[in-house]
Every structure is written in structure tokens, then in C-alpha cells.
Structure 1
């Protein structure tokens, strides 16, 4: 196995074949499989079958499944439109956050591969660079640690909020019940529990809160995060 990253390793020379093959075609097929059935449907064998190619041919382009997953993530990062340089920082981070959410809605498996060590593909690095650039060289964020802290906080919110949204969608698909149907089914039990008076704040949430949709909750939570960053970095 090569010690080179997949980004540095050249593809094998093309050869006459009834079934053309390339890393791009492999990644496109893997993404289709993941979009249709989740990451469990992604294997080199299944990707090869989708391309009508022998599995061993794929190893000339990709050595491991982890490399394939890295390439898939990078491809999705490439779909996310980045803000123009000089865009006001809140507007820029909001655009990035909504781009991440939209990408995860198109490719629900994407959120499962985020977090932990940063991805190293060219699109992933461009995304990180653009995110940092939204705050860099602005007087409110005098050090790179200030920039990194703010961007990391926004990304942590985005990852958590989108993961919750995707999980809810998966639960709905697995159970066959919408959130409203699930709440209705558990309604009698919750009413008995709330009637004990032990959960007054939860009762207010159940009876008084505006139960808005996921998009509205995302916007509200993001505004809380950005307001907090702005307050911390507003000159005294």
C-alpha cells in the first residue's frame, strides 16, 4: 500500500476498455449508492458492480474504503458555494452554514463523516480556508485563535443541528411515523407526566412554545451563536 495520500497519487494510465474507469466515475457511483441507501451500501465491490467493472480494477485508483469516503466527502464540499471575499462576516458565515445544511439534506450520509480531524481534500481545504477568511484581518478578531474559535463554534453548531435534523428524518423513515404522529401516540403518557406538576418548564414547552420547522430552528440557533460571537468580539 502506498504511503502517499490519494490526492497525491496519480491515477493509472487509461487503457482501452469497454468499461471506462476513473476516480471521478468511482466517486460519483459511490455517492449515488450512499444517497440511495446510506453508507452501508458503499463498498468497493458494490461500486465496481454499479460501474460494471471488476473490483480489482478499482484498486488501481483507490486503495481502501476510507480513501473512497474521503473522496466522497471532498466531492460534496465542492458543491457548497463559498462567500465572495470581503462579504460581511455574519453574512458570510450564515451562507456557509446554510450551504453545509443544504449539502447534508441532499446527501444525508455526509453529516456522519464530519467531525474529528479535518478532511484534507482540495475542496475541503478550500472550504476551511474560506471559512477562516470570513473573520481574518478584521479588527474584532485580532488573532488567528480568535478566528479559529469563532469558526469552530459555528461549525460545531451546524454539525449538531444538522445531525439532529437528519436523525429525525431517519427515525421517521424507520418507524413510518412523522414527528407529529409520534407525539400524538405518546400524548396520553406525556399528559399524565406533566399533570404531576414535576415538569413545569417542560409543560410550557409542550403547551406554549411555537413548534416551528427545522429550518426556522436552524436560523434561530445560528443567530444565537453569531450574536454571542459578536458580543464577545465587540470592542469595549
Structure 2
């Protein structure tokens, strides 16, 4: 008779931690809260996750698994763009990760992510140093854009702004933002990233 698979493992712990952080912020994540979420005893978690740093590593590894493309598209710029969009989407879905995961040690999925990025650049004539510069620059753009978008989304009172634009008191601002001529967020992100990648084209 095959053993029944336990519902408790590192992946389940990471998923519970992410669910808590999405609802309440990462400061709310604790072994006790994770145990409550999984309906298990707190001490049972320590068999799988020993320390807070280990918990960070497990959560970061789960998030980084979402950044890996199942298949790289052809063309290095298209491939890097798709990887960057996928990574950007993680931080939009989980904005707490932008700060809370900074001290997380790199895990296997972070290494797979790096390897996939380098695979995308294998067809270029860039040197190793240029490849690293490109990837670090793309990361800075992705993280910076996601951080700004998350902060802006959290701060803007859409109803208030809409009412003020409709009042006629701000005609120039209404002309800029009120008639659909400003590009959508995703388009701005993609165009900015494409312009950045063009600087590295040979």
C-alpha cells in the first residue's frame, strides 16, 4: 500500500506564506499564522523550515518559479522582454515582495531564472560583462517600475481625480489624461523596456 502523501511540505508552507502576505502584508507572516492557515501544529513546520531566513528562501524560491518561461521565444530581445514582463507581473501581484524579499538568499529557481536569461542572450555578440550589465539594468527597470506602479496604485484616489478632471478646473490635465491618449501602464512598461534593450543591440 502506498503511503498517503502529506499535505505539509516546503511548497505548501511557501504558498500559505504568500497567501497571508497578499492579504495582510509580509509583516503578518509568522510560523504561527502559517500553521493556522494550513491547520497544523506550529512545531510541525520546523521540520521543513528551520529559521526565518529559511522561510524567506522558501517564499522567494516559490515566487521566482513564476518568473521562468516554459519556453523561450525566438530572438533575444523578445525573450528578455517576455522574461521581464513575467517578472514585473510577479511584483504587481505581490507588491510586498519588492522589499520583503531583498534579503532572501538565491535558491534553485533564481538560478534557473538567471540561466534562462543567459540562454536568451547566447545568440548575441555581447561580452560576459555586457550581458551582466544588460541584465542588471533590466532588473533595475523592472523593479523600479513595479515599485512606482504599486505605490501609485495604492496612493491614487481614482474617484477624487476623476471628479476633479470632470469639474473643468484642470483643463490641461484633463486633456492629457481624460481622453484616452495616455498609453496604458503595460504599454508604457513595454515601450520603455524595448527602448532600453535597443541600446544594447549590435
Please report how far the alpha carbon of residue 154 of structure 1 lies from its aligned counterpart in structure 2 after TM superposition.
1.0
Alignment partner of 2:122 out of 115, 133, 136: 136
Unaligned runs of 5+ in 2: none
Q: Are 1:167 and 2:146 matched, yes or no?
A: no
Q: Could you tell me how far apart the structure 2 residues matched to 1:99 and 1:31 are?
A: 17
Task: Verify: 1:157 aligned to 2:141, yes or no.
Answer: yes
2:160 counterpart of 1:181: yes
Of residues 127-136 and 91-100 in structure 1, the stretch that sits farther from structure 2 once superposed is 127-136
| Runs of 4+ with >6 A deviation | none
Using the size of structure 1 for normalisation, the TM-score is 0.70
Looking at structure 1, the residues matched to 24 and 72 of structure 2 have their Cα atoms a distance apart, in angstroms, of 37
Aligned residue runs from structure 1 range 54-203, under 5 A: 54-82=41-69, 84=71, 87-113=74-100, 119-139=105-125, 141=126, 143-172=127-156, 177-178=157-158, 181-182=160-161
**In the aligned structure 2, how far is the partner of 1:38 from the partner of 1:105?**
14
> Which of these residues, 210, 213, 234, is aligned with residue 184 of structure 2?
213
Q: Who is 1:196 aligned against?
A: none
Aligned partners of 2:76 and 2:124 also within 8 Å? no
Aligned residues, how many?
194
Measure how far apart 1:91 and its partner are: 0.4
Structure 1: any 5+ residue segments left out of the alignment? Answer: 1-15, 192-202
TM-score (norm 2): 0.80
Change over 3 Å in CA distance of 1:132–1:118 after alignment to 2: farther
Give, in whole Å, the separation in 1 of the partners of 2:187 and 2:165. 24
Q: Which has the higher contact order (CA 8 A, sep 6+)?
A: 2
Give 1:149 shift. 0.6
What are the Cα deviations for residues 157-204 of structure 1, in whole angstroms up to 9, with x where unaligned? Answer: 0111111111122224xxxx22x634765999x96xxxxxxxxxxx8x
CA–CA distance in structure 1, aligned partners of residues 72 and 198 of structure 2: 22
* Structure 1 residues 83 and 132: CA distance shift in structure 2, 3 A: farther
Closer/same/farther in 2, CA of residues 42 and 186 from structure 1, 3 Å limit: farther
